[in-house]
Amino acid sequence: MNQIDSAINKTINILREAKHVVVLTGAGISTPSGIPDFRSAGSGLWEHDDPMDVVNMQTFKRTPARFFNWIRPLIKTMSTALPNPAHISLAQLEKVGIVKAIITQNIDNLHHDADSQNIYEVHGHMRQSTCLRCYAIHPAEISEEAVVVRKEVPLCPDCGGVLKPNIVMFGEMLPVRVLNGARKEVQKCDVIIAIGSSLEVAPVGDFPMLAKRMGAKVIIINLGKTYMDQVADVLIRADVVDVLPRLAAAFHPLSE
């Protein structure tokens, strides 16, 4: 048995004993669906742009076209992306009662598309946009048509104000109710699984350490290194689409 097989078996045993499992997902769970992450050399979205400048609320208010020119390719990619086996496996683990909550840093909607239910989107999502003038909320289709098809800044059909996607930009607060709900899940969990996240963005990246300090077991599934690797109870350095289906398969009898 190799190291990865041993780590997967150990994880399965931990999950069998767990009462409240919480999952934290980052960009690495969606890269197999064709969505680029932010930091990978050669392919990351921040490779040629300064995030503090492009995805910044003050910059957006001054020159929204710059943001939409940057995000246009990502919107096109996300509109056709499908959940991969990792997303689907987490939904299956939730369905059979193993996973109680998914906290995600992603804005791509793939956990919803995979039919997961208890999701905390701490960095927002692209399903809706909000008018910066009248605060009306509109479905994403209105913005997508303007940005992708007409290559324009999306405007509110009610008042003509600029529509901002309901994602969290630099200079904005995280959604308080979502963040507080996610933190409560972490505080009561006995196992947290961090999947495809570099754990570099606070405060969500601090959740595994918070859980560890409160006595929970920490499982890391990630191709890259994280600050939690040395203190994790299980570290699986492998592709999420290879690991998660094996975890879900171990609990198939529970759904029969």
Catalytic site residues?
Answer: 123
Q: What is the C-alpha radius of gyration for the chain, rounded to an integer number of angstroms?
A: 19
Determine the 3-state secondary structure of 99 from DSSP.
Answer: strand
Q: Which residue has the tokens 């996607």?
A: 165
Report how far Cα 18 is from the mean position of its chain's Cα atoms. Answer: 23
Burial bucket for residue 146 (CB in 10 Å: 0-12, 13-18, 19+): middle
Nearest to 94 by CA among 183, 169, 202, 193: 193
CB 142 within 8 A of CB 135: no
Rounded Cα gap, residues 197 and 47, in angstroms: 17
DSSP string, 214-234: TT-EEEEE-SS--TTTTT-SE
Residue from 121, 114, 124 nearest 240 by CA: 114
Q: Using N-to-C axis directions, what is the helix angle for 3-17 and 240-249, rounded to 10°? A: 50
Distance of alpha carbon 170 from alpha carbon 88, whole angstroms: 30
128, 140 Cβ separation under 8 angstroms: yes
